[in-house]
């Protein structure tokens, strides 16, 4: 049985498909050949969709022949788990990705809604092995993402509206430019990115520990895209606080700023989610928190901020405004931020 899928990945997100007589899909200049085992082929319906969880292997190569290839071997059969962890093995002919017990690079081969294939995972693996750009090669970038959650009692938390989409976009964009990326996320709800090391850190203390550990391992830049709680309960109840007619009172303490603990040789990039565009306040925050660059975004504007796929930022340093974006897809905004990071004096040579 042969199937053909054509992927358009200008942003790395949109997928269009059509079926034909060959087993090839074209993605970002690659041909990706899908080979199904006989058992899986016999089980597939003869109609409208293809389930990647039933494919035995996916092989990608440049559309214009060049040395090297990529292979993703799912080793999954009907009824088996639809997640495969992979590791990278250097081979004379290219790079081979195979399942392993654990690993930083993860491909989730899952059927998407309405039975459509989750082909984004295959494209993501290809972009990891052959990054579209390499101007960040050799840089080790740490990205924090999402909203921290500070417990009040065993069932309640103090959190914020951050969705983690901006941090996810930054990690993807840096990976696609050949950087070595560690993503420190407050949740594990986003699709895993092949080649990106994921650390889940739900609260401020865990984020701090993970950031400092990543810096100790060696980092050139830390991008603090996570929305860090300003306050947390002074004490956490060991049992659920019961609801009473008179309400409840919790004493909060200010969360300390750990950015100054980041080693001085690491570029520090921060975010300021505000409900205005006060540049003076942003400059004050940059200096007070110890950032080298600060991305100011006014979340009161349409299409900007939390839980949307677009954003708008003004990037400043100690001298003033470096760049202001329009309202753009977050993956594009991420690239603009990385452009400023790359051009910052001394980055990668500290």
222 beta partners: 142, 268
- For residue 257, indicate whether it is catalytic: no
The end-to-end CA distance of the chain, in Å, is 55
Among residues 116, 128, 115, 271, which one has the least CA distance to residue 192? 128
* Marked catalytic residue, from 160, 257, 298, 311: 160
User: Which positions are catalytic?
Assistant: 160
């Amino acid at each position: 049985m042969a199937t053909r899928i054509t992927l358009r990945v200008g942003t790395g997100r949109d997928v269009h498909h059509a079926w034909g007589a060959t087993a090839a899909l074209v993605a970002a200049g690659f041909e990706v050949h899908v080979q199904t085992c006989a058992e899986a082929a016999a089980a597939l319906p003869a109609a409208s969709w293809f389930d990647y969880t039933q494919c035995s292997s996916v092989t990608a190569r440049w559309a214009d022949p060049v040395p090297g290839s990529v292979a993703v071997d799912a080793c999954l059969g009907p009824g088996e788990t639809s997640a495969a962890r992979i590791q990278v093995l250097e081979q004379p002919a290219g790079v081979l990705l195979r399942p392993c017990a654990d690993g930083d690079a993860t491909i989730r081969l899952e059927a998407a809604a309405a039975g459509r294939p989750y082909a984004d995972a295959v494209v993501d693996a290809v972009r990891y092995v052959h990054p579209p750009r390499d101007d960040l090669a050799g840089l080790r970038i740490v990205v924090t993402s999402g909203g921290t959650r500070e417990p009040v009692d065993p069932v309640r938390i103090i959190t914020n509206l951050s969705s983690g989409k901006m941090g996810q976009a930054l990690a993807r964009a840096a990976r696609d430019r050949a950087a070595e990326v560690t993503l420190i996320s407050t949740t594990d709800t986003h699709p895993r990115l092949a080649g990106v090391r994921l650390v889940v850190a739900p609260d401020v203390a865990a984020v701090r520990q993970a950031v400092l550990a990543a810096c100790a391992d060696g980092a050139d830049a830390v991008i603090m895209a996570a929305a860090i709680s300003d306050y947390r309960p002074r004490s956490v109840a060991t049992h659920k606080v019961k609801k009473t007619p008179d309400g409840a009172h919790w004493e909060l303490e200010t969360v300390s700023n750990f950015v100054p603990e980041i080693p001085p040789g690491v570029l520090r990039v921060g975010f300021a989610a505000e409900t205005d565009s006060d540049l003076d306040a942003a400059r004050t925050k940059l200096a007070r928190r110890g950032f080298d660059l600060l991305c100011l975004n006014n979340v009161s504007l349409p299409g900007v901020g939390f839980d949307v796929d677009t954003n708008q930022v003004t990037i400043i340093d100690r001298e003033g405004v470096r760049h202001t974006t329009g309202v753009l897809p977050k993956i594009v905004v991420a690239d603009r931020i990385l452009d400023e990071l790359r051009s910052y004096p001394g980055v990668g040579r500290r």
